[in-house]
């Protein structure tokens, strides 16, 4: 199931005054990634999904 499933623990906090900060922790490896704003977080997640899609073998219709 590795190609069909990605799991992260998401933590969000706000630094006053300022933007929301984000941290994703990979539940399988424990690796943590920090983001200065929501846009960076979403860009990372979109990239992860794209990479998983490209790694999966193409299926015939």
pLDDT tens by residue, 16-41: 888 889 999 999 999 999 999 999 99
Does any domain span residue 24? yes
- The pLDDT assigned to 4 comes to 79
Does any domain span residue 60? no
| DSSP-derived pairing of the beta strands 8-14 and 20-26 | antiparallel
Structural domains of the chain, count? 1
Residue in the block written with tokens 């193409």: 58
Domain of residue 13 covers 2-55
Does any domain span residue 21? yes
Q: Where are the beta strands (DSSP E) in the chain?
A: 8-14, 20-26, 32-35
Does any domain span residue 39? yes
Q: Which residue has the higher pLDDT, 55 or 27?
A: 27
Does any domain span residue 36? yes
- The pLDDT assigned to 61 comes to 59
- The pLDDT assigned to 51 comes to 87
Does any domain span residue 61? no
Residue 15 confidence class, pLDDT cut points 50, 70, 90: confident
């Amino acid at each position: 199931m590795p190609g069909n499933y990605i799991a992260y623990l998401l933590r969000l906090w706000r630094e006053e005054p300022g933007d929301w900060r984000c941290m994703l922790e990979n539940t399988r490896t424990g690796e943590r990634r920090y983001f200065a704003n929501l846009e960076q977080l979403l860009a990372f997640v979109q990239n992860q999904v794209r990479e998983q899609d490209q790694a999966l073998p193409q299926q015939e219709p």
